[in-house]
Amino acid sequence: MITTLQQFAGNERTLSAVQTMLQADRVPQTVMLEGPAGSGRKTLARLMAAGLLCEGETRPCGKCAVCRLVQTGHPDVMEIAPEKDKTAVSVDQIRRVRADAFVRPNQGRCKVYILCGAVRPEAQNAFLKILEEPPVGVYFILLCRHAGDWLETVVSRATLLRLGPVTWQQAKTALPALGLPADDETRLRLEQSGGLLGELIAPAGKTDPAATARACAMALAQNDPPAFLVATAGVAGERAQHAPVLEALYALLYGALRHRATQAPASAEETALAKRLSSQQLLAAGQAVQAALDRLPYNPNGALLFTALCARLFHTQS
């Protein structure tokens, strides 16, 4: 976890601007953090919030109780994201922020609202009033891909900071804090992500393709179609995850086949699959997964994709 500005990779200009603002106690009340997904917008927003509230010497110190609390959930740092099943922050959510901003901080000397994700235009309009005259000690950090996602009237009231991709050399400062090894694989993954370090770490709550594939394999081994659908529900809406899940499932099916044929050492899932399915069934299942992989470019609907695959996979068993 990145807890100090020094650990943040690359983006020197933005970081030195933030450091100057914090040191001089002159953080603008509305900051817009612009950058692609994975460029560290939320990380930097939390560092700024920690910097505003921190009780250490060089803020954020990353060590004091306040800094630690910001990372896990500080009562005066609010992160506002679209509600479940919604793609953008709603007017109601902004109205609640507006009302809450006039309430004194719970613990700290100020309150910070981090707006993550898209905000509906009418909600942006509702937001404008408070941005015109924010209450003393209230800070808004707006995260976005492009400043153009916000109404010009909002943009004109914010101080814009930009984040971009990083090089391998720059990424190295952040790797230990992110728990990533400084090896060739990480380097390759960084290149594949286009220099977006955030893409290399599975954000909390986001699904892990390998874990999803393992859950699918267990559902198959236990002849439990509903469990298969539950396992894939989390990734159905994330198109980028479809291929990694299918590839990992394919690998498990072939691992099971190999285990069946040669008694080669295998994972718990592979062993369970080998026990329940015949070689022929494993082959058929592998082919079904391969066929789903081949059709991916024409199959943008994840729910349909996994339902169809589920039907085919469990059909091969009966």
Q: Residues interacting with Zn ion, by CB under 5 A?
A: 54, 56, 61, 64, 67
Nearest alpha carbon to residue 169 among 151, 150, 195, 137? 195
Measured from the CB of residue 51, what is the shortest distance to Zn ion in angstroms?
8
Tokens of 37: 């997904």
Q: Are 245 and 235 in contact (CB under 8 A)?
A: yes
Q: How far is the CB of 74 from Zn ion (least distance, A)?
A: 11
List of residues 6+ apart from 64 with CB closer than 8 A: 54, 55, 56
Gyration radius from the chain CA atoms = 24
Q: Which of 294, 284, 280 is CA-nearest to residue 247? A: 294
Q: Considering the complex, state which of residue 75 and residue 194 has its C-beta at the smaller distance from Zn ion.
A: 75
SS3 34: strand
* DSSP sequence for 191-231: HHTTS-GGGGS--TTS--HHHHHHHHHHHHHTT-HHHHHHH
Q: In this structure, what token pair is assigned to residue 91?
A: 């007017």
The CA-CA-CA angle for residues 149, 155, 161, to 5°, reads 90
Assess contact for 223 and 314: CB atoms under 8 A. Answer: yes
CB nearer Zn ion, residue 68 or residue 312? 68
**Is the bond leading into 60 cis (omega within 30 degrees of zero)?**
yes
- Residue 176 C-alpha from the chain's centroid: 19
Q: Which is nearer to Zn ion, 55 or 238 (CB)?
A: 55
Report the SS3 class of residue 105. Answer: coil
